[in-house]
Amino acid sequence: MKLFTGAILLICLAFGQAWVDKWERLNVTLTQLAEEMKHNATLRQMWLDHLKHFEEKETRAFPHPFRCHLDLLPHETPDSVHELRMEDFKVIGAMGDSLTAANGAKALTVIGVLTEYRGVAWSIGGDGSLDSGSVTLANLLRKYNPNIRGYSVGSGSVTSSGSHLNVAHPGDTAHDMPAQADLLIQRIKADHHINFQQDWKLVTMFIGGNDLCDVCHTPDKHSPANYINNIKIALDKLHAGLPRTFVNLAMIFDITPVASLGHNNFFCNVVHGMVCDCGQDKQHHAIVQANLVEYQRLTQELIDSGRYDNGRNDFTVVLQPFYRDTVPPHKDNGGHDLSYFAPDCFHFSTKGHQVAAVSIFNNMVEPVGHKNTKWHLNEPYLCPGQHQHHVNDFIPTYKNHKAHVVGK
């Protein structure tokens, strides 16, 4: 144990500091741990052994080819959001936290989990192409419209040049969504290559993990009422500020199984203890899951209210529920398949981002009322106009969904 004393002491010191920002605390701790590893051969070997659990994450090829028809017939750009096809999107944006910033997605070092690999982010990453094996929602849409704008590339923070319309920020909660909405609108308006009034925009919002990770400490701040109110304010801002916009609102998942992946794992315990101890500690699971149920119920209630389908025909919000019942994947032997996660056992690896990308694309194709509520693991792409419930290739919304369901 003497070999690890220095590292553990450094971590304990960081825990004891009155850091305001948990991400700053994590940054300091992992930097200290990385420095300790330079002088501690046993700790370095522990890290190398740890990485073996994640080695399959470098196998990126999605098992199913993209076979949706791309012989797109010319058609006029629709005026109604309820008559949109995939090829009509000319702009893509995203809001959220570290899962949309793609923290640690390609990490191979301790400090690498702090890097934001925005180019591979599930909902907006634009590195490579679908044909090269880079599966993201943006790259899927580029099969329909190669000229779509806004996708993020490379790595860096929200202020980096490659972030573009990916305004997600690690550590953010629902409280930060109104400000992110303002920033996104500002960036879209500032891009002179975008026809602000005429171009159809796709915005994906996914938030709530950090709310749940902190709810045992500040239950009032992260109450279900505050959670949904902040989402409503952000969506209201998008509604008021963006013409011709389709919003994907991805439902939050239960973070307790993910935060529990690090049990009996030195490196993952360090991260989980700092960024999500409410999910890591089983004594807090009841309060976390109780709030989760309310977050999900109120989110469904808000969208079902029709608030974003009244008064205008060029804006809608569709709830995409593929995360709702998602749990960490398992191997055939029953153990967790960590290849879908970064080496912190918390964020997604590129492989995890790929599955999330396929899942939200498929959710967008699935009609309202017939959407999968779990990751589409090892499942093929669903194709607009070719799905079993489709009678046309319009993207399903709450207003047009009856036309998508055969027999309705």
Query: Where in the sequence numbering do the catalytic residues fall?
Result: 98, 211, 347
The Cα 86–Cα 320 span in angstroms is: 16
Q: Which residue's entry shows tokens 């999968």? A: 372
| Residue 403 near residue 392, CB atoms below 8 Å | yes
DSSP state of 292: H
| Residue 68 near residue 364, CB atoms below 8 Å | no
SS3 sequence of 115-152: CECHHHCCCCECCCCCCCCCCCHHHHHHHHCCCCECCE
Q: How far is CA 202 from CA 152, 222, 260, 266, in A?
A: 14, 27, 34, 40
Dihedral pair phi/psi, residue 106, rounded to 5°:
-120, 20
Cβ atoms < 10 Å from Cβ of 114? 19
Nearest to 253 by CA among 216, 300, 206: 206
